[in-house]
């Protein structure tokens, strides 16, 4: 199984809401990532988990809170977001940080 799944596919939330994005992989990968992508731009790295521990936080605002409950799951908890946070949020996994990454289909987030 070489698939990374993400839920939900679309999410609309108000600035006072709390929501979570979920990501799952069953490839035994030990590195998992969250990226943010704006239209017509490349993905921007947000967080890296290596062996279930947060190894990289790219100075992401605290309104984004990642969590890695186990080696297959990655969550991104969202709270008090701003309209400029509207974007495609991509999850990815890999055997190692600089090896080929497998991406999920993304969650299209709209903050109203």
Partner 1 sequence: SQQGEEDPQALSIQEGENATMNCSYKTSINNLQWYRQNSGRGLVHLILIRSNEREKHSGRLRVTLDTSKKSSSLLITASRAADTASYFCATDWLETSGSRLTFGEGTQLTVNP
Query: Which residues fall within 8 angstroms of residue 65, CB to CB, at 6 or more apart?
Result: 76, 77, 78, 79
Q: Which stretch binds partner 1 (CB under 8 A): 11-19, 62-70, 73-81, 84-92?
A: 84-92
Site residues (CB under 8 A) for partner 1, limited to 29-48: 40-43, 45, 48
Among 15, 26, 38, 55, binds partner 1 (CB under 8 A): 55
- Nearer to partner 1 among residue 3 and residue 18 (C-beta): 3
Among 90, 93, 109, 111, binds partner 1 (CB under 8 A): 90
CA distance 74 to 49: 9
Query: Which residues fall within 8 angstroms of residue 11, CB to CB, at 6 or more apart?
Result: 19, 21, 107, 108, 109, 110
Query: Would residue 71 be called left, alpha or beta, if left means φ above 0 and alpha means ψ between -120 and 50 degrees?
Result: alpha
100 binds partner 1 (CB under 8 A): yes
92 binds partner 1 (CB under 8 A): yes
Taking CA 10 as the corner, what is the angle to CA 100 and CA 81, rounded to the nearest 5 degrees?
90
> Footprint of partner 1 on this chain (CB under 8 A)?
4, 40-43, 45, 48, 50, 55-56, 88, 90, 92, 97-106, 108
């Amino acid at each position: 199984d070489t698939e990374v799944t993400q839920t939900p596919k679309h999410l609309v939330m108000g600035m006072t809401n709390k929501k979570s994005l979920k990501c799952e992989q069953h490839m035994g990968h030990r590195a998992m990532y969250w990226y943010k992508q704006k239209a017509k731009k490349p993905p921007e790295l947000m967080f890296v988990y290596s062996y279930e521990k947060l190894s990289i936080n790219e100075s992401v605002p605290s309104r984004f809170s990642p969590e890695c409950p186990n080696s297959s799951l990655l969550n991104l908890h969202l709270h008090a977001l701003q309209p400029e946070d509207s974007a495609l949020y991509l999850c990815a996994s890999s055997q190692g940080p600089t090896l080929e990454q497998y991406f999920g289909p993304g969650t299209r987030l709209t903050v109203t």
